[in-house]
Amino acid sequence: MTMRLPLAVLKHVMLIALSLCMIYPILWLLLGSFKANNEIFTVSSFWPSEFIWSNYAKGWSAVPGFTFANFFLNSMMISLLVVAGSIISCCLVAFPFARMTFPLKRLWFSVLLGTLMLPGQVLLIPRYVIFSDIGWINTYLPLVVPAFLATNVFFVYLMIQFMRGIPRELDEAAIVDGCGPFRTFLLILLPNCKPVIYTVAIFSFLWSWDDYFEQLLYLNEVRKFTVQLALQMFVDNAAQIQWGSLFAMSILSILPPMLVFFFAQKHFVEGVATSGIK
């Protein structure tokens, strides 16, 4: 036993050192958001000599003609629609795969698994062409509509796996009581799917909030920009960047994912652990 004590100490020293490395950049970003320009980039002043709250006010209106409120509303609207779309469509689609028999079921299921592995980059250009043909460029439709059509197959797969784990006796009882497929789905399966619905909600929110590529492709007008696009514009356009204000807006932009994470931590960890998603 005496041999094990130094080992345990060593382990904790390593963990603490690692935590510091992991968290230091984020703390630096946070504290930097209160500093003056010249103070941010010196190691010696970790703590701001004076908290400059006006960095936040300046950052908030740093994009000429708009405030970040506009961009936050845009991002929030897109993300919430994506969440709603993903939940609705994935629940619907998973149900027949998990519980019903229908012609071509095996075929469709293999198609589903196939598209799960399909790298999205190959669809990038033709999708853009299609959206352009139907006049959806510079609208939120390309970002939102696919979510309502269960294009994130990963969530569907997750949902199917979960529904399969729900005891069949429950819906058999419902059928005996005279419930058809619709009512069985609504009254029996959905309430039991809460954990996986949380997972889908959390991850679809995070992914669409942090997504940059699609927003970059489809949105051209500053008025329609999301937080990510606005931040990027902030960096690119200003000749004399007020780093403090930029950091302030960066901190605000990661706030929603953080809040989701802290409030839904239990579901979050369960979701990651059981599903193996990022």
Partner 1 sequence: MESIQTKKPTTTAAKRRFVNASIAYIFLLPWLIGLLGFTMWPFIQSFYLSLTQSTLHSTTFVGLDNYLRMFSDERFWKSLQVTTKYVMLSVPLKLAMALFVAMLLYKASISMTFYRTLFYLPSLIGGSIAVAVMWRKIFGLDGLWNSLLGKFGIQGKEWLGQPDYALYLLVLLVVWQFGSSMVIFLAGLKNVPGDMYEAAMIDGAGPVKRFIKITLPLISPIILFNLILQTIGSFQVFTQGYVITKGGPMDETLFSVLYIYELAFKQQQMGYASAISWMLLVVIAIVTAVVFLTSKRWVFYENDMKGGH
Cα–Cα distance measured from residue 146 to residue 159, given in angstroms and rounded to the nearest whole number: 17
Shortest distance (Å) from residue 158 CB to partner 1: 13
Strand extents, DSSP E, the chain: none
| Footprint of partner 1 on 162-181 (CB under 8 A) | 180-181
150 lines the binding site for partner 1 (CB under 8 A): yes
Query: Per-residue x/- mask for partner 1, residues 85 to 114, rule CB under 8 A?
Result: ---xx--xx-xx---xxxx-x--x--xx--
All residues at 6 or more sequence positions from 165 whose CB lies less than 8 Å from its CB, including other chains = none
Q: Please, how many CA atoms are within 13 Å of residue 215, restricted to the half-sphere of its CB?
A: 23
Query: Per-residue x/- mask for partner 1, residues 19 to 38, rule CB under 8 A?
Result: x--xx-xx-xx---------
Contacting partner 1 (CB under 8 A), which of 9, 15, 77, 175?
15
Contacting partner 1 (CB under 8 A), which of 74, 79, 199, 253?
253
CA-nearest of 206, 228, 230, 217 to 141 is 217
| Footprint of partner 1 on 52-71 (CB under 8 A) | none
All residues at 6 or more sequence positions from 14 whose CB lies less than 8 Å from its CB, including other chains = none
Cα–Cα distance measured from residue 173 to residue 24, given in angstroms and rounded to the nearest whole number: 55
The nearer residue to partner 1, 120 or 191, going by C-beta atoms, is 120
Contacting partner 1 (CB under 8 A), which of 106, 121, 169, 176?
121
